[in-house]
């Protein structure tokens, strides 16, 4: 018998999943916000650009590797042991890692702590989106998952203002650990997915990552699900993260703070992520909502490179516009969950967004390695061409992606091997 699904989107599962993603984003973006003061405290000379870049890249890369590895671990566990096991396990791990980060005394220790945190952080969004998608009726799951992502993304705003208020980067990490522990107790009241409980009783392969690759149709859906999310991390990882550098290229002397740019961008992404669920419901289509936000992304990108940005205020406005335009993260992850059966759903929903996050090194390689170093293009021209390529790939992937708005999720993936 199917578990009775909640009639309202405002239930404990949605609220707790949203708060979990809030803490996730708080922690994920905190290093970007406290990067310079934290590195300086660990002995990095901020006046030596190469030393700063080397240290910050090391920390970020270790965190990204943690996200990639954690995405696989938690995804498989979510399908084998249950969605709640991930929600509990991931919050415990990154709370401990956050607390330890507050006591590091070298860049190497910092990197290792962020690696552990990355593993923990990787499980939050996918497990939360999977649980909410399976608990809510199909007509409401788009709005429910949008609220999870939209509310969660305000964690970046909280991280920015926490540091502005405390001016203590170590305390900021400890606060993140404390938030995780509080959230752990809230999760005690959350029920497991009825769909998962049904599948658990069956003799069927669950959380088998190889099943994405031994079936041609599933492999295509999996790759397309990853590619449709790429613009988000191009915007955040390059345009917003280097907003101060772009400001110098556009109009010279400036006081643009990349941490503030990220805060504005994420506040706007959160608004977009809440709105996109209602847009999807209005169109009764995931893909139409996605196309609308892709259009916003293209228009925002045109404005960014148009030459109209001539002061700090217009740069911050541009970052907010770019952020809002990439507010399709909720629908993107929801579509990833909806593409696959219950026995693979958590694995898909957890690995897909983390593989998109992990695309940052590849995008950076194209941006810096190919266009700047190999071809010798300017900083601005390289970013522009990288954006055009990323957006083109994404639009093609979206065209071939299956519409999932009306899809019934109560099914499993067969283990047969097909070409």
* Contact yes or no for 101/117 (Cβ under 8 A): yes
Q: How far apart are CA 17 and CA 365, in angstroms?
A: 34
Mean pLDDT of 17-46: 89
pLDDT in tens, 319-366: 999 999 999 988 898 999 999 998 999 899 999 998 888 787 788 888
369-402 pLDDT tens trace: 877 778 888 889 989 999 999 999 999 999 999 9
> Does the residue 418 lie in any domain?
no
Say if 413 falls within a structural domain: no
pLDDT band (50, 70, 90) for residue 193: low
Residue 314 falls within a domain, yes or no?
Answer: yes
Residue 419 has pLDDT above 80, yes or no: no
pLDDT of residue 194: 67
CA 52 – CA 45 distance, rounded (Å):
7
Confidence tier at 301 by pLDDT (50, 70, 90): very high
> What is the tens place of the pLDDT at every residue in 127-173?
888 888 888 887 788 888 888 888 888 998 999 999 999 999 999 99
The pLDDT assigned to 357 comes to: 82
Residue 373: exposure state from Cβ atoms within 10 A (0-12, 13-18, ≥19): exposed
The pLDDT score that the predictor gives to residue 240 is 92
CB distance 174 to 102 below 8 Å: yes
- Domain membership of residue 278 (yes or no) is yes
Question: Strand, coil or helix: what is 418?
Answer: strand
Q: Quick one: tokens of 13?
A: 């599962």
Average pLDDT over residues 38-50: 86
Mean pLDDT of the chain: 88
In a domain, 414, yes or no: no
Rounded Cα–Cα distance for residues 249 and 238 (Å): 14
- Find all residues with CB under 8 Å of 7, minimum gap 6, and list them: 137
- Give 387: exposed, middle or buried? Use CB within 10 Å, 0-12, 13-18, 19+: buried
CA 12, 18, 21, 27 torsion-angle sign:
negative
**The tokens of 370 are what?**
């190919």
Which of the 8 DSSP states describes residue 304? H
Q: Greater confidence, 314 or 130? A: 314
111 inside domain:
yes
409, part of any domain: no
Q: What CATH number is given to the structural domain containing 369?
A: 1.20.1250.20
Q: Which two tokens stand for residue 263?
A: 């805060």
pLDDT at 1 over 60: no
Reported as a single tens digit per residue, the pLDDT across 261-272 is 999 999 999 999
Q: Which residue has the higher pLDDT, 415 or 181?
A: 181
For residue 247, pLDDT over 90 is answered with yes
pLDDT of residue 372: 78
Q: Are 325 and 275 in contact (CB under 8 A)?
A: no
Q: pLDDT tier at 53 (50, 70, 90 boundaries)?
A: confident
Torsion sign (Cα): 387, 293, 291, 150 = positive
418 pLDDT tier (thresholds 50, 70, 90): very low
Distances (CA, A) of 264 to 19, 199, 240, 252, 261: 20, 42, 10, 22, 5
pLDDT for position 401: 96
Residue 387 lies in domain: 12-191+214-400
How many domains is the chain built from? 1
Average pLDDT (293-321) is 96
pLDDT bin (cut points 50, 70, 90) of residue 303 is very high
- DSSP of 70-123: HHHHHHHHHHHT-HHHHHHHHHHHHHHHHHHHTT--SHHHHHHHHHHHHHHHTT
Q: Is residue 206 domain-resident? A: no
CB neighbours of residue 335 within 10 Å: 32
Instruction: List pLDDT tens digits, range 91-119.
Output: 899 899 999 999 999 999 999 999 999 99
CA separation, residue 124 to residues 128, 207, 387 (Å): 6, 17, 28
CA distance 83 to 129: 10
Query: What pLDDT does 3 receive?
Result: 45
pLDDT for 332: 92
Average of per-residue pLDDT across 188-214 = 78
């Amino acid at each position: 018998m199917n578990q009775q699904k909640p009639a309202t989107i405002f239930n404990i599962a949605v609220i707790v999943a949203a708060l979990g993603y809030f803490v996730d984003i708080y922690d994920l973006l905190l290093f970007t916000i406290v990067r310079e003061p934290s590195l300086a405290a660990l002995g990095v000379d901020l006046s030596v650009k190469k030393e700063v870049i080397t240290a910050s890249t090391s920390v970020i890369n270790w965190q990204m590797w943690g996200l990639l590895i954690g995405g696989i671990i938690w995804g498989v566990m979510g399908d084998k042991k249950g969605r709640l096991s991930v929600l509990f396990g991931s919050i415990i791990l990154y709370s401990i890692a956050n607390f330890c980060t507050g006591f590091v005394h070298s860049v190497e220790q910092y990197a290792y702590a962020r690696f552990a945190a990355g593993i923990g952080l990787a499980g939050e969004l996918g497990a939360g989106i999977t649980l909410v998608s399976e608990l809510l009726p199909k007509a409401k799951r788009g709005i429910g998952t949008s609220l999870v992502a939209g509310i969660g993304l305000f964690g970046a705003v909280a991280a920015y203002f926490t540091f502005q208020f405390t001016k203590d980067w170590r305390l900021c990490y400890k606060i993140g650990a404390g938030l995780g522990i509080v959230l752990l107790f809230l999760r005690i009241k959350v029920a497991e997915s009825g769909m998962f409980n049904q599948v658990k009783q069956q003799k069927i392969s669950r959380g088998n990552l190889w099943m994405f690759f031994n079936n041609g149709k599933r492999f295509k859906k999996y790759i397309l699900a990853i590619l449709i999310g790429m613009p988000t991390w191009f915007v955040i990882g390059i345009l917003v993260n280097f907003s101060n550098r772009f400001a110098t290229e556009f109009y010279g002397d400036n006081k643009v703070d990349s941490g503030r740019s990220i805060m504005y961008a994420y506040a706007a992404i959160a608004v977009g992520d809440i709105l996109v669920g209602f847009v999807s419901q209005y169109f009764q289509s995931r893909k139409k909502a996605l196309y609308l936000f892709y259009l916003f992304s293209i228009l925002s990108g045109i404005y960014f490179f148009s030459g109209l940005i001539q002061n700090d205020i217009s740069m911050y406005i541009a970052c907010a516009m770019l952020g809002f335009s990439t507010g399709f993260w909720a629908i993107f992850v929801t579509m990833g969950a909806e593409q696959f059966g219950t026995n693979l759903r958590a694995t898909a929903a957890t690995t897909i967004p983390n593989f998109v996050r992990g695309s940052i090194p590849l995008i950076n390689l194209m941006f810096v390695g190919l266009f700047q170093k190999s071809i010798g293009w300017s900083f601005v021209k390289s970013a522009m061409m990288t954006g055009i390529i990323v957006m083109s790939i994404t639009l093609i992937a979206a065209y071939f992606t299956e519409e999932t708005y009306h899809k019934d999720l109560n099914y499993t993936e067969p283990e047969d091997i097909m070409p």
